[in-house]
């Protein structure tokens, strides 16, 4: 007798190998158009699915969850962050939530270093000059940026991604400093030659480059507030590949416009996909379209984690990447 396949609804188009495997294992309903679902469409999916596979752009709040169907048992998020889901409400309603941690570490760390280099060395500005036909030949004082070798890098959030950034930055000759809820192990500190700062304010005031690598939680909303960013030195560069909500974007745009800090490299935004209009006009900021995890390998790895979480749950076991409110 054939084994019944659980009803799985996927909110966005995923890589072909992932979708194919999901169709083989589950009764899977795909989003062939890759258009984001509206709230009514999400509600319909929540009412029909046993497993919902959303992405980080799908806002699944308490209002939607309160109207979810009785068959919904698992929300298997395609993404490491789960700030798009009201995990506490889901748990209270007996709905398990999973995510895809770990597989995006190297890709995001690569993009962080790319933004540090691009911001310090004015890479995007230079490329635009060449592509517009404005390159008139080499000049000893033109398009000068800043050397990163020997500079101090302050990492805000020393988890998996923060440590991966530190390893890369150390290889580039940067001095590693970090702020975290608690220090990493002495072994890791020694390996990275990293200096721990309990006070974020004190660290920010001394850094040449600051990289934001912490998750977005209620405690980290506007962690880099207008007050804190004013502690940065005028030559400092701020890079964010974590979540836009961690930085007060309006305050950052004003500081960049006034030259109060030298530059910024941003892959995420506070009101994504909207971007503060001031940022779009500034020459001293590198803006990317949330592509830190956008590698073929990374996205397939994410999909495989989603599949493992679904299959493990449906086999009656605790999924390996279950998220509980205490973890947030």
In this prediction, what percent of the chain has a pLDDT beyond 90? 93
> Does the annotation mark 290 as catalytic?
yes
> Does the annotation mark 243 as catalytic?
yes
CB atoms near residue 187 (< 10 Å):
8
Catalytic residue among 21, 216, 243, 299: 243
CA distances from 188 to 178, 194, 202, 215 (A): 12, 8, 22, 20
Q: Is the peptide bond before 273 cis (omega within 30 degrees of 0)?
A: yes
Taking alpha carbons only, the member of 203, 255, 254 closest to residue 234 is 255
Domain residue ranges in the chain: 7-103+295-327, 105-132+143-287
pTM beyond 0.85: yes
Catalytic residue among 29, 125, 260, 272: 272
DSSP assigned state of 244: G
Mean per-residue pLDDT for 302-311?
Answer: 97
Question: CATH number of 7-103+295-327: 1.20.1050.10, 3.30.300.20, 3.40.50.720, 3.40.50.300?
Answer: 3.40.50.720
Architecture, CATH, for domain 105-132+143-287? 3-Layer(aba) Sandwich (3.40)
230-241 confidence digits (pLDDT tens): 999 999 999 999
Catalytic residue among 19, 290, 304, 322: 290
Is 49's pLDDT higher than 60? yes
| The pLDDT of residue 2 | 59
134-166 confidence digits (pLDDT tens): 999 999 999 999 999 999 999 999 999 999 999
Domains 7-103+295-327 and 105-132+143-287 share a fold: yes
Alpha carbons 252 and 263: distance in angstroms, whole number = 10
What's the token pair of residue 324? Answer: 């509980």
């Amino acid at each position: 007798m054939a084994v019944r396949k659980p009803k799985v609804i996927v909110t966005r188009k995923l890589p072909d190998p992932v979708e194919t495997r999901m169709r083989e294992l589950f009764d899977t309903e795909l989003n062939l158009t890759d258009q984001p679902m509206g709230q009514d469409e999400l509600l319909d999916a929540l009412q029909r699915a046993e497993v919902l596979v959303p992405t980080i752009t799908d806002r699944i709040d308490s209002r939607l969850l309160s109207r979810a169907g009785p068959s919904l048992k698992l929300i298997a998020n395609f993404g490491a962050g789960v700030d798009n889901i009201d995990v506490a409400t889901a748990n209270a309603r007996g709905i398990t939530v999973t995510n895809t941690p770990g597989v995006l570490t190297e890709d995001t760390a690569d993009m962080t270093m790319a933004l540090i280099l691009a911001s310090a060395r004015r890479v995007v500005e230079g490329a635009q000059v060449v592509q517009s036909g404005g390159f008139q030949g080499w000049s000893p004082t033109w398009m000068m940026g800043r050397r990163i070798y020997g500079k101090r890098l302050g990492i805000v959030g020393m988890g998996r991604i923060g440590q991966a950034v530190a390893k890369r930055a150390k290889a580039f000759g940067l001095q590693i400093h970090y702020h975290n809820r608690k220090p990493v192990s002495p072994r890791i500190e020694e390996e990275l030659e990293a200096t721990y700062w309990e006070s974020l304010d004190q660290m920010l005031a001394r850094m040449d480059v600051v990289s934001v690598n912490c998750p977005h939680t209620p405690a980290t909303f506007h962690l880099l507030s207008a007050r804190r960013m004013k502690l940065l030195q005028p030559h400092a560069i701020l890079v964010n590949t974590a979540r836009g909500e961690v930085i007060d974007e309006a305050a950052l745009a004003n500081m960049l416009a006034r030259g109060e800090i030298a530059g910024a490299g941003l892959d995420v935004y506070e009101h994504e996909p909207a971007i503060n209009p001031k940022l779009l006009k500034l020459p001293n900021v590198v803006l990317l379209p949330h592509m830190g995890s956008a590698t073929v390998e990374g996205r397939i790895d994410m999909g495989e984690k989603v599949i493992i979480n679904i299959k493990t749950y449906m086999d009656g076991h605790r999924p390996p990447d279950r998220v509980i409110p205490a973890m947030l």
